[in-house]
Structure 1
């Protein structure tokens, strides 16, 4: 089940302004302390949401590269997607037994603008198939970020291309994810409908 899309950018403020002008209603998410990043989030319909993530100017540069390719990007990019699971350890073990290393789950947290600290567990796939193999996320008892988001933006379609669509599809199947994958250069494409019109993220 789609949890969220990850749209990375080297210029968080600029990208948020641009998306808002195009009709995507984004609200502050919060900083990821120690990673040098912060995010804004917006609705995609249902319990899915869009995460726009980039460098946090209020944090020092981290010792390690920022996640989601932020430090290597020159333009905003739809880098990956996240799939929700209620038992991340079992999902990871099942995937590994089937030949896909979905990563090692670890804890993360961020403080929302209202002061509430939310935490979750996440696993980044070792072989991510150019961002098409999803990140796994388990919110546990934490309030889901989609709760209380403004309406108006919906995800109309999500599709992918890759030189090895069969390999990608196999990696998706073992974590219970579904995504249309066709042959082509690696990439994710999301089409959104907004009050201002259609928005395509790549």
Structure 2
């Protein structure tokens, strides 16, 4: 598949809270994103240079409740409790050329849009993180997959001066995660390591210095 890093996902209880938290840490403003009608969420974006970016996402209080579970486990008590402690890096998305066949057994390929953006994305029917139900130790650290039908957001986002130095993926089963990335043909710098539970970390280089998420 020759997958590459597309974007990092930071979730928050509210978009305002997430933006304030991240902008305060990075010392730079996020660009407006938009609304996701399918999932009742909205976001704000930040270029990470090249073809990668970062999104802050939250439930949109002004949107009607969606007919299906929201993505990234946002509807679960576990994720809500986690975000009560503050915004968090909860997931990452890898870019591929096509998603004609779902790459994960539990996956579902959805055709989605936000404004002028059009893309296909793998989302389990229950909104959980990919492989999280089948292999809990990989929940959140195995990427969702995206195939863009229109130019990806980084082509239109203003330069931020922020770049991703390292994406760190911790799991009790590092060999299994490496096997998933190998099957996807993932190309890029990620650090996979053994940890008691799934965890993500990112080192960002900013104009003000190094920031760890």
Q: Mark yes or no: TM-score above 0.5.
A: yes
User: How far is 1:8 from its partner?
Assistant: 1.1
Do the aligned partners of 1:36 and 1:59 also contact (CA within 8 Å) in 2? yes
Match of residue 38 from structure 1:
42
Match for 2:20 among 6, 17, 20?
Answer: 17
- Give the direction of change, closer, same or farther, for the CA distance of 1:24–1:165 in structure 2 (3 Å limit): farther
SS of equivalent to 1:40:
strand
So what's the TM-score if we normalise by structure 2? 0.81
Do the aligned partners of 1:6 and 1:79 also contact (CA within 8 Å) in 2? yes
Q: Which runs of 5+ in 1 are unaligned?
A: 112-116
Q: Which runs of 5+ in 2 are unaligned?
A: 125-129, 133-137
So what's the TM-score if we normalise by structure 1? 0.85
Do the aligned partners of 1:32 and 1:110 also contact (CA within 8 Å) in 2? yes
- Map of 1:86-165 to 2, 5 A cutoff? 86-89=97-100, 92=102, 95=103, 100-101=104-105, 103-111=107-115, 117-124=116-123, 126-128=130-132, 129-140=138-149, 142-151=150-159, 152-165=161-174
User: How far is 1:80 from its partner?
Assistant: 1.2
Alignment partners' CA distance in 1, 2:105 and 2:69: 21
CA deviations over 1:96-141 (Å, ceiling 9, x no partner): xxxx537221101011xxxxx221101136514121111110002x
User: How far is 1:53 from its partner?
Assistant: 0.5
Do the aligned partners of 1:10 and 1:70 also contact (CA within 8 Å) in 2? no
- Give the direction of change, closer, same or farther, for the CA distance of 1:102–1:132 in structure 2 (3 Å limit): farther
**CA RMSD across the alignment:** 1.9
Do the aligned partners of 2:21 and 2:87 also contact (CA within 8 Å) in 1? no
SS of equivalent to 1:88:
coil
Structure 1 residue 76 corresponds to structure 2 residue 101: no
SS of equivalent to 1:177:
coil
Q: Which runs of 4+ in 1 moved over 6 A?
A: none
User: How far is 1:187 from its partner?
Assistant: 0.4
- Give the direction of change, closer, same or farther, for the CA distance of 1:38–1:46 in structure 2 (3 Å limit): same
